[in-house]
Amino acid sequence: MYKILEKEVFSPIIKLMVVEAPKVAKSCQAGQFVILRIHEEGERIPLTIADFDRKKGTITIVFQEVGKTTEQLGAMEAGDYIKDFVGPLGLPSHIENFGTVLVVGGGVGIAPVHPIARELKNAGNHVIGVIGSRTKDLMFWEDKMREACSELHVTTDDGSYVRKGFVTDVMKEIIEDTGKDNINLVLAIGPQPMMRACCNLTKEYGLKTIVSLNALMVDGTGMCGCCRVSVGGVTKFVCVDGPEFDGHEVDWLELARRGAYFREEEQRARERAKEEHSCQCECGGGK
Amino acid sequence: MNDGPKPRPDNAPKTQPQSKIVPQKNPMPAQDPVVRSKNFNEVALGYSPETAIAEAKRCLQCKKEPCRQGCPVEVDIPAFLKLASQGDFAGAIAKIKEKNALPAVCGRVCPQETQCEKYCTLGKKHEPVGIGRVERFCADWELATGVKIPEVAPPTGFKVAVVGSGPAGLTCAADLAKLGHKVTVFEALHVPGGVLMYGIPEFRLPKAVVQAEVENLKKLGVDIEVNSVVGKFTTVDQLMEEEGYDAVFIGTGAGLPYFMNIPGENLCGVYSANEFLTRTNLMKAYQFPDWDTPIKIGRKVAVLGGGNVAMDAARTALRLGAEESWIVYRRSEKELPARHEEVEHAHEEGVKFAFLTSPTKIFGDDNGVVTAMECLKYELGDPDASGRRSPVPIPGSEYVMEVDTVVVAIGQGPNPLVPRTTKGLEVSKKGNIVANLETGATSKTGVYAGGDVVTGAATVILAMGAGKVGARSIHDYLSKK
Ligand SMILES: Cc1cc2nc3c(=O)[nH]c(=O)nc-3n(C[C@H](O)[C@H](O)[C@H](O)COP(=O)(O)OP(=O)(O)OC[C@H]3O[C@@H](n4cnc5c(N)ncnc54)[C@H](O)[C@@H]3O)c2cc1C
Ligand SMILES: Cc1cc2nc3c(=O)[nH]c(=O)nc-3n(C[C@H](O)[C@H](O)[C@H](O)COP(=O)(O)OP(=O)(O)OC[C@H]3O[C@@H](n4cnc5c(N)ncnc54)[C@H](O)[C@@H]3O)c2cc1C
Ligand code: SF4
Ligand code: SF4
Ligand code: FES
């Protein structure tokens, strides 16, 4: 059992939790993820390590409520326990001094981008950060990102905060201003359509772009093949070969289709959980 | 007790009055095929005490004990059968457990026809003694009436890490614990048991039985740390250099699924057998939405492959609601690598077979969901190195088979995680850890390995045998330290 030590509510659907998991904290690195299961009947879901504290033995996760498990997790409080919590999984981000790196976080993707930006800056890179969200209420960690990056640009889709525009609009301006030859690497993490749009843009400039893929997963150790994705025409397992890949090589259509395969079932599970929740027995809505 | 007077001379059948011999095994009561193909309850229901005694009485108590050479963990078969035949089930299970830490599992899933029962004297002219069935009965009897914990030697002060909690790791851990060593088992998944939990279906091996046996191991003082992927949160080297483990046993199995590498294999609705079975068994998708993990199954399912894993997947597909479940296999029925009993059960339940057939391409619809496979027909050519006649494609024989779900069950390799992160550990070309089969010793001092990770996908009992060998060698190694 893994204790939730802290909970922070960024918005009604985006939440942060600090979880006691000393084994994971001891060895994890930026770019890796955990798989958790909140109760005995629960699904195993992957979440990126958004931060960690080796001394305290804690892992920070930031998640968006999109379905049954994330909603039930969101309803849990500090002091509650998560049944299973395994990690660190996946390969760490490749960190070296590339020169100038454009680091982009969209939506809940701001969280996983943060430790990578920090490491890149520590390695001597000039880190240009771009973070964007749909609207002001969904924005978080602007302060932490400002610290982790050399410079930070903020945008909202609807213009409710700082400026109006997608992250790709801001990226385009930066690439034009800085000159594509002065940018050595792009890293983009966020919802699939956003990462795909970023890759379409950077392809025009011939800028290598790393993305972090959120394929469906079961075990997360390379045992089931559920997370497979075509990268450069070769099948890769996101959980052990990734999660980071060269975005220009990824078969995005395949990834999106595989991700949608269980949509009906996910919907069913979610509706059922809501029904159970409405019993008002103070069971907390989750089993 | 093995030293009492033996009632019969060696090779008993020849010297014994024929009337005493019961030629046939007592049949195993089973669920009706039509009913069971729709549920996940255990197929084979187990003997009653009377039947168990009757079956045990069939044993001739041969002096040379030929059956024992067929058991990789060296169970004293005649002795336990004798006790069982006298109705002393407590004595019988104690005898079995001197050698076998997981009798309820072995009694169910050992391929006895190629192991112990293959060498049974009775089997030469008649049906062999149902050794596995009696073993299962004794184990179930003990699980139902309360388990006696075997004696554990006083602590030696040595610490041993076991990586992987499949049958190899669990057996090794149990034997080392009995010898007084402090054993910690690290398991990647959230429950111990390996393939016993995620692969072999509930209807052949109830998960409650596996967990009951695991609980018994814990009572020997074995610590099992689940959610612990070695090679990730720590490495074998760190376990030995930083965490103070004196020796390590690696039993990480063969969990890496192979695919066919044909176009369309990443379409939705194409599962590896591992994913298909893990969702169903480990994550209990057959109880969705009571359990959260879903599985989607089409009207018509094709399982590629012909081994036990393929049979399990095809039978699972029926239970999940498929109208048709097909085994698609490159060779003919005769070459099926699966156990006869499993093939028979599959037939009875209505699994269909397309022999001498292999897919070349998988087609999908606009949403990327499987709709059909292009298959090629084969004929049998000359025998290959393994002695099996190798399949040769018939040119121009392509045809289209409509399917909604495809399960790829063509084999598994070893997961590279541990080999890749362990300094100086020799692996074969296929990625298996190189270990001496007689000792389990690897190229690295203090590190032993056994089970599927060394041999490639094999059997529960062979993995357990390797776990035993590993434990013995580790004990010797520690004793000299
Ligand atoms: C390596 C990795 C890192 C991730 N990191 C984060 C993170 O830091 N924060 C965050 O909010 N989300 C992250 N995700 C996505 C997160 O795992 C899913 O949102 C979560 O599994 C949804 O579960 P659910 O039961 O709430 O929703 P469901 O009802 O199961 O699904 C809702 C949506 O989530 C997607 N989804 C469902 N199951 C999975 C799964 N096992 N893996 C990936 N996507 C899934 C589905 O495509 C669907 O669109 C990550 C995914 C991966 C693979
Ligand atoms: C569907 C199916 C049906 C089968 N049916 C039969 C049958 O009827 N009879 C029979 O005798 N055999 C059968 N087998 C074969 C048998 O199950 C295996 O040969 C046996 O389980 C191998 O045991 P093992 O201990 O070597 O490995 P496994 O059982 O594979 O266990 C390995 C364990 O190690 C864990 N692990 C892997 N990597 C790590 C890591 N880095 N850190 C920590 N833990 C790790 C895994 O999660 C797993 O729990 C079947 C196999 C399958 C897949
Ligand atoms: S453990 Fe398996 S091989 Fe050994 S006696 Fe029992 S059933 Fe036979
Ligand atoms: S089980 Fe078979 S081989 Fe073994 S002692 Fe009995 S009759 Fe003889
Ligand atoms: S999640 Fe099972 S192999 Fe990647």
- What's residue A277's pLDDT? 60
- Strand B370-383 relative to strand B357-364, pairing: antiparallel
Structure tokens, B259: 């695919």
What's chain A look like in SS3? CEEEEEEEEEECCEEEEEEECHHHHHHCCCCCEEEEECCCCCCCEEEECCEEECCCCEEEEEEECCCHHHHHHHCCCCCCEECEEEEEECCCCCCCCCCEEEEEEEHHHHHHHHHHHHHHHHCCCEEEEEEEECCHHHCCCHHHHHHHCCEEEEEECCCCCCCECCHHHHHHHHHHHHCHHHCCEEEEECCHHHHHHHHHHHHHHCCCEEEECCCCCCCCCCCCCCCEEEECCEEEEHHHHCCEEECCCECHHHHHHHHHCCHHHHHHHHHHHHHHHCCCCCCCCCC
Asked if residue A32 has its Cβ within 6 Å of ligand 1, the reply is no
Q: Which of A179, A174, A176, A181 is nearest to A150 (CA)?
A: A174
CA distance B424 to A230: 32
Q: How many angstroms separate the alpha carbon of residue B112 from the centre of ligand 4? A: 13
Q: Is B440 left (phi over 0), alpha (psi -120 to 50) or beta?
A: left
Q: How many angstroms separate the alpha carbon of residue A237 from the centre of ligand 5? A: 6
CA distance A11 to A8: 9
CA distance A249 to B100: 51
Q: Is B78 left (phi over 0), alpha (psi -120 to 50) or beta?
A: alpha
The predicted model scores a pTM of 0.92
Ligand 3: atom nearest CA of B110 is: 2
* Minimum distance, in Å, between the CA of residue A219 and any CA atom of chain B: 7
Q: Do A18 and A6 touch, CB atoms closer than 8 A?
A: yes
Q: How many angstroms separate the alpha carbon of residue B481 from the centre of ligand 3? A: 34
Please give the DSSP secondary-structure letter assigned to residue B426. Answer: -
When scoring B284, B292, B309, B367 by the number of chain A Cβ atoms within 10 A, the one with the most, hence best to mutate, is: B292
Asked if residue B167 has its Cβ within 6 Å of ligand 2, the reply is yes
Segments of chain A with pLDDT less than 50: 279-287
Please give the DSSP secondary-structure letter assigned to residue B10. Answer: S
Ligand 5: atom nearest CA of B257 is: 3
Helix (H) or strand (E) holding B352, with range, is strand B352-354
Q: A218–B275: do the CB atoms touch at under 8 Å?
A: yes
Q: For A253, name the nearest residue in chain B, comparing CA atoms only.
A: B368
Helix (H) or strand (E) holding B390, with range, is strand B389-393
Helix (H) or strand (E) holding B421, with range, is helix B417-421
Cα-based distances in Å from B129 to B2, B26, B103, B255, B259: 18, 9, 17, 34, 40
- What's residue A220's pLDDT? 95
CA distance B333 to B201: 23
Q: Do B171 and B178 touch, CB atoms closer than 8 A?
A: no
Q: Given the structure tokens 């019961």, which residue do they identify?
A: B22
Within B146-199, where are the H helices? Answer: 167-178, 195-198
Q: Given the structure tokens 């999984």, which residue do they identify?
A: A89
Contacts with B, A 27-56, CB within 8 Å: 27, 37, 41-44
- Strand B412-413 relative to strand B256-257, pairing: antiparallel
Q: For A229, name the nearest residue in chain B, comparing CA atoms only.
A: B266
The ipTM of this complex is 0.92
Q: Which of B177, B148, B14, B152 is nearest to B90 (CA)?
A: B148
Q: Is B34 left (phi over 0), alpha (psi -120 to 50) or beta?
A: alpha
Contacts of A258 in chain B (CB under 8 A): 266, 268, 368
Contacts of A229 in chain B (CB under 8 A): 266
Ligand 1: atom nearest CA of A242 is: 1
Within B28-128, where are the H helices? Answer: 33-36, 49-57, 77-85, 89-97, 103-109, 122-125
When scoring A72, A223, A230 by the number of chain B Cβ atoms within 10 A, the one with the most, hence best to mutate, is: A223
CA distance B223 to B160: 11
- Residue of A43, A85, A225 lying closest to B275 (CB–CB): A225
Q: Residue A203, CB half-sphere, CA atoms under 13 Å: how many?
A: 11
Packing angle between helix A252-260 and helix A192-205, nearest 10 degrees?
A: 180
* Minimum distance, in Å, between the CA of residue B480 and any CA atom of chain A: 32
Non-local (6+) Cβ contacts of B335 within 8 A are B306, B329, B388, B389
Cα-based distances in Å from B239 to A4, A89, B115, B160, B236: 28, 18, 36, 9, 5
Cα-based distances in Å from B116 to A41, B1, B79, B155, B340: 39, 20, 14, 35, 16
Contacts of B268 in chain A (CB under 8 A): 257-258, 260-261
Q: Give the other-Cβ count within 10 Å of B177's Cβ.
A: 26
Q: Do A88 and A29 touch, CB atoms closer than 8 A?
A: yes
* Minimum distance, in Å, between the CA of residue A191 and any CA atom of chain B: 20
Q: How many angstroms separate the alpha carbon of residue B226 from the centre of ligand 3? A: 28
Q: A260–B367: do the CB atoms touch at under 8 Å?
A: yes
One pLDDT digit (tens) per residue for chain B, 481 residues: 344 444 444 444 444 444 478 889 999 999 999 889 888 999 999 999 999 999 999 999 999 999 999 999 899 999 999 999 999 999 999 999 989 989 999 999 998 888 999 999 999 999 999 999 999 999 999 999 888 787 889 999 999 999 999 999 999 999 999 999 999 999 999 999 999 999 999 999 999 999 988 998 899 999 999 999 999 999 999 999 999 999 999 999 999 999 999 999 999 999 999 999 999 999 998 889 888 889 999 899 999 999 999 999 999 999 999 999 999 999 999 889 898 888 999 999 999 999 999 999 999 999 999 999 999 999 988 887 777 788 899 999 999 999 999 999 999 999 999 999 999 999 999 999 999 999 999 999 999 999 999 999 999 999 999 999 999 999 999 998 8
Paired with A85 in beta bridges are A36
- What's residue A269's pLDDT? 85
- What's residue A165's pLDDT? 87
Q: A218–B190: do the CB atoms touch at under 8 Å?
A: no
- What's residue A278's pLDDT? 58
